[in-house]
Amino acid sequence: MHYLVVDDETRLTDLVVRYLSESGHTAEGRYDGPSGLAAARDPRLDAVVLDVMLPRMDGVEVCRTLRGEGVDVPVILLTARGAVSERVAGLDAGADDYVVKPFAMEELLARLRAISRRRADPAGRLRIGDLVLDPEQQRAWRGDCELDLSRREFAVLHVLMENAGRVVSRLQLLNEVWDGETDLRSNAIDVHVSKLRAKVDRAFDRTTITTLRGRGYRLETAP
């Protein structure tokens, strides 16, 4: 999962980012409202942790602006103890949950997991580790880096991610990507998979797409 943490307490923000990273996720921090708003528009985010009391633009206004723009990323508000009015305003602005400061890191992570489960991805994005594919926009990313894929490479990656952890045969790729325009005797499939692997794996020193001789290809669910 990829998270954004927005809080003007830099030490707290950095601690949360580090904790989430050490828990197997990716996370980034921002320290004021406008920069948090800009970062929260990233379609790869799974959730945003947003402090209410932010300089230049408070967290409630950030949340309200995101919802007004149609950005449906799950939001957890950080509020002060006893600040009932802040929590009500935040939830009315479109926040999904809140955590009262001071909080335990374990509780925050549990709440992040919970809202990620509750909220379906409206754009139908596929995520396998730090590999993200957006079928609607025809875009894909590895971590923070957008991948420069051809139409066919994107289609192959789409099929592999939809079947992550399972073997995808050359015949399946032939039918779903090439629509019968080539045949199994051609090396077109192998060439495209090789080019895709160079962009998705070798450029990042990963082994995500594996070849199973005589069976097909598989996108591994754990790097």
pLDDT per position as a tens digit, 5-45:
999 999 999 999 999 999 888 899 999 999 999 999 998 88
Q: What pairing do the DSSP bridges indicate for beta strands 75-80 and 97-101?
A: parallel
Domains within the chain, CATH numbers bracketed: 2-118 (3.40.50.2300), 126-219 (1.10.10.10)
Three-class SS state of 161 = helix
Q: Which two tokens stand for residue 135?
A: 């079928």
Predicted model pTM: 0.57
The answer, yes or no, to whether residue 1 has pLDDT greater than 60, is yes
* Per-residue pLDDT reduced to its tens digit, 53-101: 999 999 999 999 999 998 889 999 998 866 788 888 889 999 989 999 9
**Helices 59-68, 84-92: crossing angle, 10 deg rounding:** 10
* Per-residue pLDDT reduced to its tens digit, 167-194: 999 888 888 888 766 666 678 889 999 9
